[in-house]
Amino acid sequence: MAILEVKGLCKRFGGLEVLNGIDLTLDQGQVLSIIGSSGSGKTTLLRCLNFLERPDAGELYVAGQELWGPACTQPLRQRRLHFGLVFQNFNLFPQYTVLRNVTLAMDLLAKERRGKSAARQAAAKNEQKARELLGRVGLADKLQNYPFQLSGGQQQRVAIARALALEPDILCFDEPTSALDPELTGEVLRVIRSLKSSRTTMIVVTHEMEFAKGVSDQVIFMADGVIEEQGPPAQVFGAPQSPKTRAFLRRSLEQVG
Ligand SMILES: Nc1ncnc2c1ncn2[C@@H]1O[C@H](COP(=O)(O)OP(=O)(O)O)[C@@H](O)[C@H]1O
Ligand SMILES: [Mg+2]
């Protein structure tokens, strides 16, 4: 069964139609890459999925459960837990250590769900989990450092560990390497690839075409708020049907070359 189903998603800002009827389906353990020019609505789509923007129309189902619309009774905070989001600019808490950046949301959630004293007991377990996650992203030796003491690539890996800590059904990335120097993109892309091996369901907005080609089960090319082209990477990159996709890919290649 599809873990994620989006139907007819629309979003406008004032008079500007930014998303105009987005339909997509994603299976458990699959990776969906979203490519497209700046301003085509990619970030807005991720923000709608993460309940950071309220769509004007459309339906959203996670594992068959409706998360927008009148049938949905789950509180917003609960609905948000289905999704994790890794931002372009990391958005770590500068005043906390690496370890605390990862444990904080887990501790707050435990407190909210189980009360203060149970949360104190959960804290040790949460810390253990954070250590494991930070080990997985190669940062076991940075637990007590602060974000300003890390490179951009390391900060982004902390952000990934933090997003994984709450075990979202779907992990979203918004251009996770765009703010990084070229020599630091590889370490972040490697972590995302390793998550695919462990069957994490992911949506990755990216300008890294070679990466998208290699890691994705499905690729979407967005233009002007609609899905202009959609399919397996071999088709979208190898035999694009739409002239807009072809022009976009040609421009991307020119930039790389
Ligand atoms: N909060 C907002 N208010 C008004 N316009 C917005 C807002 N967020 C995005 N937009 C506009 O929506 C369009 C799509 O933006 P965005 O989703 O960020 O595109 P992308 O991520 O593909 O570059 C752009 O024209 C942008 O200026
Ligand atoms: Mg964007």
Tell me the DSSP string of 116-166.
HHHHHHHHHHHHHHHHHHHHHTT-GGGTT--GGGS-HHHHHHHHHHHHHHT
Amino acid type, 162: R
How many domains does one find in the chain? 1
Nearest CA to ligand 1 atom 5: 13
CA distances from 86 to 51, 113, 168, 215 (A): 14, 24, 12, 17
- Position 1 scores a pLDDT of 75
CA gap 47, 54 in Å, rounded: 9
The burial class, CB within 10 Å (0-12 / 13-18 / 19+), for 257 is exposed
| 52 close to ligand 1 (CB < 6 Angstrom) | no
Ligand 1 atom, smallest distance to 36 CA: 22
Do the Cβ atoms of 170 and 102 come closer than 8 Å? no
Look up the domain containing 231 and give its range: 2-256
Structure tokens at 254: 């020119």
Neighbour count for residue 8 (Cβ, 10 Å): 13
pLDDT values of the chain reduced to their tens digit, one per residue, 257 residues: 799 999 999 999 999 999 999 999 999 999 999 999 999 999 999 999 999 999 999 999 999 999 987 778 888 888 999 999 999 999 999 999 999 999 999 999 999 888 888 888 899 999 999 999 999 999 999 999 999 999 999 999 999 999 999 999 999 999 999 999 999 999 999 999 999 999 999 999 999 999 999 999 999 999 999 999 999 999 999 999 999 999 999 999 887 65
Q: What is the CATH number of the domain that holds 245?
A: 3.40.50.300
| 206 close to ligand 1 (CB < 6 Angstrom) | no
